[in-house]
Structure 1
Amino acid sequence: MDKMHLARMQFYGNHGLFPEENKLGQRFYVDLTLSLDLSEAGRTDEIGTTVNYAELYERVKQIVEGRTFRLIEALAENIASDVLHQYTNVNDVTVRVIKPHPPFDIHFDGVTVEIVRKRESL
């Protein structure tokens, strides 16, 4: 199966358990990997035979910036569900949500959640 990757999309969201996170917000990164057949797009050079990644970026932006989730797991699940419902040519999607600066008094390079959802599980 072919793959399409959208790497390190950057958004500003208000996700987290703490009231300060919901009020102040912070930066989030989202990576997507879509599994789909890209052979027709390669042969025809037509956008209608693939996923328009500019449109997909806007859909993800609406989810990340337009809603508030307590858990980045829920954010990832909502993105995966939207992708599989909107793009019927996608067989499965991997969603990685990165919270680079969690509000804890510990030092590490962020928290990442990665989920894989398949069309047959809909």
Structure 2
Amino acid sequence: MDTITLNNIRVYAYHGCLPEETKIGSDYRVDLSVEADLNLSAETDVLSDTVDYVHLNRIVKEEMSQPSKLLEHVAKRILDRIFSELEPVKASKVKVSKLNPPLGGDVEDVNITLSRERD
């Protein structure tokens, strides 16, 4: 299986359990990889024969714009959309990081990673 990876997608979003997190918002970073057979597109050089990373980026940005209490929830929504909209994708992994989280200390980020395979 071949891999397409988008690293360090930066977004400003309003996720969190604390009221101020959903009002003030914060910076997030998303790393995404998908596995698919890229042999055809490697031969044809045709966009419609591959997984379009512009489409992947749009899914991430749209799902990150919808507030969630938990990072797991937004990550699951991203994966659900990928599998719903991009049939060639056989597996995917998404890592959502909250930068400078409000933990009362000097913490660079907290993150979760979810991985899924097509049934």
> Normalised by the size of structure 1, how large is the TM-score?
0.94
Partner of 1:99: 98
8 Å CA contact 2:100–2:106 kept in 1: the answer is: no
After superposing on structure 2, the runs of 4+ consecutive aligned residues of structure 1 that deviate more than 2 Å are none
After TM superposition, the structure 1 = structure 2 runs for residues 30-69 of structure 1, keeping only pairs within 5 Å, are: 30-65=30-65, 67-69=66-68
Note the residue ranges of structure 1 that are not aligned, 5 or more in a row: none
How far apart, in 1, do the equivalents of 2:78 and 2:4 lie? Answer: 16
Match of 1:119 in 2: 118
Q: Give, as a single letter, the amino acid of the residue that structure 1 aligns with 2:22.
A: N
Residues in 2 aligned to 1:64 and 1:13: alpha-carbon distance in whole angstroms: 6
Give unmatched runs, 5+ long, in structure 2.
none
Superposed CA RMSD in Å reads 0.8
Q: Percent identity?
A: 31
Partner of 1:8: 8
1:26-81 Cα deviation digits (max 9, x unpaired): 1111111100000101000000011111122112111101x110000101111011
Instruction: Say which SS state the counterpart of residue 90 (structure 1) adopts.
Output: coil
In the alignment, the residues of structure 1 paired with residue 105 and residue 91 of structure 2 have an alpha-carbon distance, to the nearest angstrom, of 35
Q: Would you say how many aligned residue pairs link Structure 1 and Structure 2?
A: 119
Cα distance in 2 for partners of 1:11, 1:100 equals 10
